[in-house]
């Protein structure tokens, strides 16, 4: 059991050794904060939540067959969710990411936009998604009801707590209800309010080896060659590797490689024509251009890892810096086409 990946998560056993020891001694932390790449911690949070609700769990692994485990797969009454709310307009532009979608396939569910925030809410506030608590105040009302069995509160995007909802949550954590476990994740501990962070047990989730990511992809039905290539470019992130295997991601990589080669060449006319003709850069939605740059940056990282030639490293690093600046500029509302022009010019400065 100790060397086996759980059904949802893809985590090396050593990562959880401290938590397993604490659970065996009845000292599992009441507030756990996973420090892990955005969206990559949710599978592990689910595994931990199910284990905490399962009466037959051993070594933080749920039995998978008891009534609590069967109920967990469709939404357990003692598993409460705090998720970022999205506007009706935004909801039409993104794939659903609510509890039902997460439980259906946590590795393929969309992540909420970074601009969405976990609301402070209230008792009479309707949640955006069924099974979701309508903000922190609604959570406080739910937790006020007595319960003799374990309850878990899942906060997979804790970095999207705003100041008001963080302060409201802090009031709950100052006097936590008995047998309630807060399971949170954030890409960096600094993204969470310091007062909440100080009350949390921090657990870093390190990147996986390419071999382990490759095994995960094969277990999901990905072709062995595609799994090997995606694992090499995933920076040890299984969710990112799975996304790289989609037809859309393969097309994005093809486009990213085109842009890299244009940047490495000296033909400004060809580069600027490519920019003008690219649908990704002319779209009103900025995400296609951001995805293109993120994919190109991943490709550059792979190339940097595979070379020891000093001039090549310097050229690739200069290109990486120019693309990172373009990505930041687009995030700050610069026009994608202008950001890409500046990126090409920066690579040839």
CA–CA distance, 226 with 212 (Å, rounded to integer): 14
Note whether 291 and 156 are same-domain residues.
no
Q: Which has more confidence, 169 or 128? A: 169
- Beta bridge pairs of residue 186: 35
Q: Which has more confidence, 229 or 49? A: 49
Identify the CATH number of the domain in which residue 112 sits: 3.40.50.300
Note whether 262 and 142 are same-domain residues.
no
CA atoms within 13 A on the CB side of 331: 13
For residues 40-60, average pLDDT: 93
Mean of pLDDT over the chain: 88
Note whether 250 and 198 are same-domain residues.
no
Note whether 189 and 82 are same-domain residues.
yes
The number of domains in the chain is: 2
- Eight-class DSSP state of 41: S
Answer yes or no: is pLDDT of 84 > 50.
yes
Residue 62 lies in a domain: yes
pLDDT the model gives residue 306: 87
Note whether 26 and 154 are same-domain residues.
yes
- Eight-class DSSP state of 200: S
Element (H, E) at 204: strand 201-204
Note whether 45 and 175 are same-domain residues.
yes
CA–CA distance, 263 with 256 (Å, rounded to integer): 11
Note whether 64 and 198 are same-domain residues.
yes
Domain closes at, from 171, 204, 237: 204
CA–CA distance, 234 with 241 (Å, rounded to integer): 5
Q: State the residue for tokens 């009441």.
A: 30
This prediction's pTM: 0.75
- For residue 171, what are the CA distances in angstroms to 79, 206, 266, 294, 313? 20, 31, 59, 38, 50
Angle, alpha carbons 8-11-12 (nearest 5°): 145
Answer yes or no: is pLDDT of 2 > 50.
no
* 29 confidence band (pLDDT: 50, 70, 90): very high
Q: Report pLDDT digits (tens) over 241-297.
A: 998 888 888 888 899 999 999 999 989 999 999 999 998 898 778 888 988 998 899
For residues 134-146, average pLDDT: 88
Answer yes or no: is pLDDT of 173 > 50.
yes
> For residue 164, what are its two tokens?
């008001």
Print the domain residue range for 168.
Answer: 13-204
> For residue 108, what are its two tokens?
């393929």
* 124 confidence band (pLDDT: 50, 70, 90): low
Domain closes at, from 173, 204, 235: 204
Q: Report pLDDT digits (tens) over 292-332.
A: 998 899 889 888 988 999 999 999 999 999 999 999 999 88
pLDDT the model gives residue 4: 36
Note whether 97 and 34 are same-domain residues.
yes
CA–CA distance, 23 with 298 (Å, rounded to integer): 38
């Amino acid at each position: 059991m100790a060397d086996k990946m759980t059904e949802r998560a893809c985590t090396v056993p050593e990562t959880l050794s401290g938590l397993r020891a604490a659970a065996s001694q009845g000292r599992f932390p009441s507030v756990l904060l996973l420090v892990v790449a955005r969206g990559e911690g949710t599978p592990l949070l689910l595994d931990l939540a199910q284990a905490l609700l399962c009466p037959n769990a051993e070594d933080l692994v749920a039995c998978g067959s008891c009534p609590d485990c069967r109920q967990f797969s469709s939404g357990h009454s003692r598993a409460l969710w705090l998720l970022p709310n999205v506007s009706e307009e935004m909801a039409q532009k993104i794939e659903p990411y609510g509890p039902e979608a997460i439980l259906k396939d946590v590795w393929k569910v969309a992540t909420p936009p970074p601009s969405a925030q976990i609301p402070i809410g209230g008792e009479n506030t309707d949640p955006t998604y069924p099974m979701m608590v309508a903000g922190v105040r609604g959570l406080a009302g739910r937790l006020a009801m007595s319960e003799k069995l374990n309850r878990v509160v899942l906060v997979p995007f804790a970095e999207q707590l705003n100041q008001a909802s963080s302060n409201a949550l802090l009031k709950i954590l100052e006097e936590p209800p008995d047998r309630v476990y807060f399971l949170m994740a954030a890409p960096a501990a600094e993204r969470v309010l310091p007062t909440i962070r100080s009350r949390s047990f921090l657990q870093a989730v390190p990147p996986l080896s390419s071999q382990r990511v490759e095994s995960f992809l094969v277990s999901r039905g990905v072709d062995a060659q595609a799994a090997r290539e995606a694992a090499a470019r995933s920076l040890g992130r299984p969710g990112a590797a799975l996304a790289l295997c989609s037809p859309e991601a393969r097309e994005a990589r093809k486009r990213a490689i085109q842009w890299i080669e244009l940047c490495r060449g000296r033909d400004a006319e060809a580069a600027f024509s490519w920019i003008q003709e690219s649908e990704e850069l002319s779209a009103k939605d900025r995400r296609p251009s951001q995805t293109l740059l993120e994919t190109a940056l991943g490709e550059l990282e792979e190339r940097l890892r595979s070379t020891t030639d000093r001039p090549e490293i310097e050229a690739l690093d200069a290109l990486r810096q120019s693309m990172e600046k373009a990505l930041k500029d687009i995030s700050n509302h610069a026009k994608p086409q202008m950001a890409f022009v500046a990126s090409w010019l920066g690579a040839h400065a």
